[in-house]
């Protein structure tokens, strides 16, 4: 087992050349910033590179501009960007957004995030969420042993391969900080897997600083059931973003790895199915699939994905209300397009629907039912109940979706997506040859149709 893990560490750990490169870039960044920053604004490196827990193929430098407490949040945002832009004039840069704007700088293939922040000593002085990073970095540097850095790397790679690494709304998985806290709790990657496989249940509480009893934590953070309390802020659950699916994938993979360790848990085999093979895999299910594809409305990722999720759930509710039986659904976005896919038991229903009313003895509600369905094709009695047979407005799932997307806000589709989804194109399996040429749909195929736990 250890031989296998050592071979993984060798592949994911940064080598001397990369470390030297990052150090030179950091020195250049600090040098440029010092030229433009006033004396009461400090520069601090935070994040996984500062903590030496980063993976060599997943890294960026997190540089924070720590403003004195006398600065307002508004001034920090405004001045921070001004200083950053001035310091890196002539470099390739990009404006990015978290809770507030920050500047991304690209030097020699490395992305550097220049983040304006308030200097704080504890969470009670917090002005914005990004202020936490300095506390997290300080805590991990103080608590994590150098020998545990590679244990964190193993965990990050393991979760990344599972598709559950990252705290974004897109992934809903394990953040880098959460990975570090889990290693602090269990000591090593293997100890963590043992605990996850044998001890973790629906209600799992991890509290490194013993702020609460388990019962207290479950009450404070309800309805969350996977709770990892931030040691730097007892009011925060670091695992709040971890979805039930991500949690389950991790627990299941931990069991499977311990039973049969394999390099493929870190470096999976490539699926080499041809387009024709993929097509056959989909068609042999004999289900009804359709895809709603529309232009990415260019929202920040952490705004886009929750809205995409809500839109999908609203459409799911609509289909179920209209009696379509849903097998599954999937949503996805890349830089160009958003995509929502549904797989149904059938795409067409009878042109009539059967509505069961109250019992014949309930005179008041019988009268109301008859009045409500006065335009029914017929109304009759079945056993003790009154029944109406009505014409179905939309006997085709696709026609139903087309109609509702003309006014998406009517079913609660969020404003940010509403304009783009109005112009959506809807594809069925008749368009499968076209769909299989789209990168976004291929992503869906591999994750929805081909994912198989064993």
37 close to 43: Cβ distance less than 8 angstroms: yes
Q: Is the pLDDT of residue 193 over 70?
A: yes
111 close to 22: Cβ distance less than 8 angstroms: no
pLDDT computed for residue 135 by the predictor: 96
**Please, which pLDDT band fits residue 19 given cuts at 50, 70 and 90?**
very high
Q: Residue 442: which H helix or E strand, with range? A: helix 439-444
Q: What's this model's pTM, rounded to 2 decimal places?
A: 0.90
* Other CB atoms within 10 Å distance of the CB of residue 46: 25
Which DSSP string corresponds to 8-36? HHHHHS--HHHHHHHHHHHHHHHHHHHTT
63 close to 44: Cβ distance less than 8 angstroms: yes
φ/ψ region of 110 (left if φ > 0, alpha if ψ in -120 to 50, else beta) reads beta
Helical pair 149-162 and 176-186, crossing angle rounded to 10 deg: 130
Residues 143-181 have pLDDT tens digits of 999 999 999 999 999 999 999 999 999 999 999 999 999
The contacts of residue 65 (CB under 8 Å, 6+ apart) are 33, 37, 41, 42, 43, 80, 83, 84, 114, 115, 116, 117
247 close to 226: Cβ distance less than 8 angstroms: yes
Per DSSP, the three-state class of 249 is helix
pLDDT computed for residue 127 by the predictor: 84
pLDDT computed for residue 337 by the predictor: 94
Would strands 92-97 and 101-107 be described as parallel, antiparallel, or unpaired? antiparallel
Residues 274-329 have pLDDT tens digits of 999 999 999 999 999 999 999 999 888 889 999 999 999 999 999 999 999 999 99
Residues 88-144 have pLDDT tens digits of 999 999 998 877 789 999 999 999 999 999 999 888 778 888 999 999 999 999 999
Q: Distance (Å, rounded) from C-alpha 190 to C-alpha 188?
A: 6
Nearest Cα to Cα of residue 147 among 193, 177, 187: 187
Tokens linked to 143: 């608590």
φ/ψ region of 187 (left if φ > 0, alpha if ψ in -120 to 50, else beta) reads left
Per DSSP, the three-state class of 45 is strand
Domains of the chain, start order:
14-142 (3.30.460.10), 144-265 (1.10.1410.30), 275-348+394-450 (3.30.70.590), 352-391 (3.30.70)
Distances (CA, A) of 23 to 18, 28, 256, 349, 369: 9, 9, 39, 64, 75
């Amino acid at each position: 087992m250890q031989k296998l893990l050592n071979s993984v560490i060798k592949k994911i750990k940064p080598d001397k050349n990369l470390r030297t490169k990052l150090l030179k870039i950091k020195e250049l960044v600090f040098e440029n910033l010092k030229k433009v920053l006033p004396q009461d604004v400090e520069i601090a490196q935070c994040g996984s590179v500062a903590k030496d827990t980063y993976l060599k193929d997943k890294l960026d430098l997190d540089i924070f501009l720590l403003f004195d407490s006398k600065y307002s949040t508004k001034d920090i945002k405004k001045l921070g960007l001004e200083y950053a832009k001035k310091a890196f004039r002539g470099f390739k840069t990009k404006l990015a957004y978290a809770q507030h704007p920050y500047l991304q700088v690209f030097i020699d293939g490395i992305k550097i995030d220049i983040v304006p922040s308030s200097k704080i000593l504890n969470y009670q002085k917090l002005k914005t969420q990004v202020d936490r990073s300095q506390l997290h970095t300080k805590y991990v540097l103080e608590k994590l042993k150098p020998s545990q850095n590679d244990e964190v790397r193993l965990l990050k790679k393991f979760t990344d391969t599972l598709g559950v690494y990252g705290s974004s709304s897109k992934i809903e998985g394990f953040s880098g900080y959460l990975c570090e806290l889990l290693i602090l709790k269990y000591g090593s990657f293997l100890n963590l897997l043992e605990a996850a496989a044998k001890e973790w249940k629906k209600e799992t509480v991890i509290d490194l600083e013993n702020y609460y009893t388990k019962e207290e934590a479950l009450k404070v953070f309800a309805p969350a059931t996977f709770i990892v309390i931030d040691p730097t802020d007892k009011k925060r659950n670091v695992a709040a973003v971890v979805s039930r699916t991500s949690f389950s994938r991790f627990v299941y993979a931990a069991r499977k790895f311990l039973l049969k360790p394999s390099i493929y848990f870190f470096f999976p085999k490539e699926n080499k199915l041809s387009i024709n093979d993929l097509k056959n895999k989909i068609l042999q299910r004999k289900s009804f699939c359709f895809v709603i594809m529309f232009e990415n409305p260019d929202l920040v990722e952490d705004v886009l994905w929750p809205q995409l999720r809500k839109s999908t759930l609203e459409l799911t509710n609509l289909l179920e209300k209209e009696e379509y039986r849903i097998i599954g659904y999937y949503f996805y976005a890349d830089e160009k397009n958003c995509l929502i896919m549904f797989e149904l038991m059938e795409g067409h229903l009878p042109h009539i629907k059967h509505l069961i009313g109250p019992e014949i003895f309930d005179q008041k509600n019988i009268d109301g039912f008859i009045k409500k369905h006065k335009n029914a094709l017929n109304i009759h009695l079945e056993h003790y109940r009154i029944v109406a047979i009505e014409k179905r407005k939309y006997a085709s799932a696709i026609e139903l979706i087309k109609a509702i997307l003309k006014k998406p806000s009517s079913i609660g589709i969020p404003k940010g997506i509403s304009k783009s989804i109005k112009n959506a194109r809807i594809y069925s399996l008749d368009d499968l040859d076209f769909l299989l040429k789209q990168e976004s749909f291929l992503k869906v195929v591999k994750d929805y149709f081909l994912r198989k736990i064993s």
